[in-house]
Amino acid sequence: MEQTLFWLVPASSILALVFAWYFHRQMMQESEGTPQMMKIAAAVRKGAMSYLKQQYKIVGIVFVCLAVMFAIMAYGFHVQNAWVPVAFLTGGFFSGLSGYLGMKTATYASARTAHAARKSLNSGLRIAFRSGAVMGLVVVGLGLLDISFWYLLLNAVIPADAITPTQKLCVITTTMLTFGMGASTQALFARVGGGIYTKAADVGADLV
């Protein structure tokens, strides 16, 4: 029974990703508006992607340093299990991927939402709501999928007769928590860096 219930988790994550893809596809089929709206949206998209590129360069360096530290703790001092550095990196990767997909969706949806709102508020709200849901569904879908993967992997590779069930559960839990730490570290940089970027853009717009 417990094993059957477990499969609801990866199934739910895949369902969330399918809905995210469906909402994104629906949004991309909408008109982007007038040539002027398309020009402004392209400029916003270019600026947003440039920001993400610079941010991910810095975050990449931080993650490499932290992963090396975790590797030394795991393989040198043996105070962590061997899967911790890898779990930390995968958490950061999927968190960064979620941010990239969310940013890309938002920059494509902005002009389409404005154009749809010229026809009716309901049309604009529908595009904005579904485009915003893409980010949430991707975060939940990728997070649950990776957690499910780590549980299945560790449950399969850790010999049942090598350690006690309690110790095995401790290893699995520690690794899964480290995945969450990687995702949270990436989210921290995105939140702080994004706040600085948007405030700088506001100040620049006021000066102009």
Q: Encode pLDDT of 54-85 as tens digits.
A: 999 999 999 999 999 999 999 988 888 889 99
Contact 47, 175 (CB under 8 A): no
Query: 207 pLDDT band (50/70/90 cuts)?
Result: low
- Rounded Cα gap, residues 170 and 208, in angstroms: 56
What percent of the chain clears pLDDT 70, i.e. is strictly above it?
A: 93
pTM of the model: 0.88
Contact 116, 32 (CB under 8 A): no
Q: Is the pLDDT of residue 26 over 90?
A: yes
Structure token pair of residue 163: 């350690």
Cα of first residue to Cα of last residue in the chain, in angstroms, is: 63
Over residues 168-186, the pLDDT tens digits come to 888 888 888 999 999 999 9
Residue 204's pLDDT is 67
Over residues 97-111, the pLDDT tens digits come to 999 999 999 999 999
Percent helix / strand / coil, the chain, rounded to 5 = 90, 0, 10
What percent of the chain clears pLDDT 90, i.e. is strictly above it?
A: 56
Average pLDDT of the residues of the chain: 89
Contact 41, 104 (CB under 8 A): no
Query: 2 pLDDT band (50/70/90 cuts)?
Result: low
Domain ranges of the chain: 13-207
- Rounded Cα gap, residues 192 and 79, in angstroms: 31
DSSP letter assigned to residue 75: I
Q: Is the pLDDT of residue 1 over 60?
A: no
Greater pLDDT, 199 or 142: 142
